[in-house]
Amino acid sequence: MSQRDLIDPESRGVLEELLERVPGGFNAIPDIAERRAVSASMRVQPEVAADARVTKEDRTVAGPAGQPDIGVRVYRPSAVDGTLPGIYVIHGGGMIMGDVEGEDPTATVLCDELQAVVVSVEYRLAPEHPYPAGPEDCYAGLLWTAAHAEELGLDLDRLAVYGGSAGGGLALATALLARDRQGPAIRFLMPLYPMVDDRNETPSSHAVTEVGVWDRAGNVEAWAWYLGGREADQYAAPARAADLSGLPPTYIDVGTVDLFLDEDLELASRLLQAGVPTELHVFPGSYHASEKMAPDAALSRRIWATRLDALRRALA
């Protein structure tokens, strides 16, 4: 039985359509510039009803010391005054793709559903900007968010950090940096199917080779580009952290047909052992980011509902 046979049938159709148009998936396109362009050209931004209820503003803010400025997009419910909880969003893309625009539907829904101020960060990508550019940009954006909390109407006592895939790994790295540098307090951490281990040694990292969305070859390549020849430390690959204590309460979810399954299970176990309150959900039949690719599937609706419930509880 192949890995594709294990995919939720309702979520598989859109994946098969993608593979017909791009055989092997986006990671099969060798040139990274072309890969990004093809991905962007095929990106269909769904009409989000919440758009009419959310105001958005793009800003340029200070990056890491001695480094270029970075972009952030700030979201706020249009009809709500006063101080609101905050969600700091870090987009995915394997450290080599993705942007704030691609994450816009998710950020908009989070803002509207949770009545929260959302700040989405545009960090530099590898291979042009290898580690540590990504996590340092994300941490700089968090510092800016905390410093401007009053202006943004954001309650710093109710601040979550959210990200999927590479964004999940960067969310963990950002939380580790905040812990180790005595930075802003984070109330809640939501790394979704996070990319956390550069070693590619787990059973699932060997098993997922032909699904067409973030298979082994693409993951190995992305880590090589991201590290740029450097040895990974805990801020590059949070699975390497010797000490996970002191991190905020954490929610992790991952699918059974996701290359990151085993490294994420191990991460959740280590967080619990370190005394970090950790909620883990494993969704049978879900492949990497399937809830984004097949949002109307019953499985996808269950994934989103579970996440939103966890965020509501954490930020109440």
Q: Of residues 8, 137, 215, 258, which has the active-site annotation? A: 258
Give the model's pLDDT for residue 47: 59
User: How far is Cα 148 from Cα 98, in angstroms, rounded to an integer?
Assistant: 26
Give the model's pLDDT for residue 45: 58
Per-residue pLDDT tens over the stretch 13-70: 999 999 999 999 999 999 999 999 999 888 765 556 777 899 999 999 999 999 999 9
Please answer whether residues 163 and 196 qualify as being in contact, where contact means their C-beta atoms are separated by less than 8 angstroms.
no
Please answer whether residues 138 and 175 qualify as being in contact, where contact means their C-beta atoms are separated by less than 8 angstroms.
no
Q: Which helix (H) or strand (E) holds 203?
A: helix 203-207
Per-residue pLDDT tens over the stretch 134-173: 999 999 999 999 999 999 999 999 999 999 999 999 999 9
Give the model's pLDDT for residue 48: 66
DSSP 8-state symbol, 198: T
Q: Of residues 11, 165, 205, 286, which has the active-site annotation? A: 165
What beta strand segments (E) does the chain contain? 54-61, 70-77, 84-90, 117-122, 154-164, 188-192, 250-257, 278-287
Residues 6+ apart with CB under 8 A from 7: 15, 211, 257, 285, 286, 287, 290
Share the mean pLDDT of the chain: 96
Q: pLDDT band at residue 311, thresholds of 50, 70 and 90?
A: very high
> What percent of the chain lies above the pLDDT cut of 90?
93
Give the model's pLDDT for residue 51: 75
Please tell me whether residue 146 adopts helix, strand or coil conformation.
Answer: helix
Domains plus CATH for the chain?
Answer: 3-315 (3.40.50.1820)
- pLDDT of 224 > 80? The answer is yes
Q: pLDDT band at residue 235, thresholds of 50, 70 and 90?
A: very high
Q: Which two tokens stand for residue 205?
A: 């990292």
> What percent of the chain lies above the pLDDT cut of 70?
98
**258 catalytic per annotation:** yes
Give the residue from 73, 69, 71, 78 showing the smallest Cα distance to 57: 73
Give the model's pLDDT for residue 43: 76
- pLDDT of 76 > 60? The answer is yes
**165 catalytic per annotation:** yes
Q: DSSP for 274-314?
A: TT--EEEEEEEEEETTHHHHSTTSHHHHHHHHHHHHHHHHH
**198 catalytic per annotation:** no
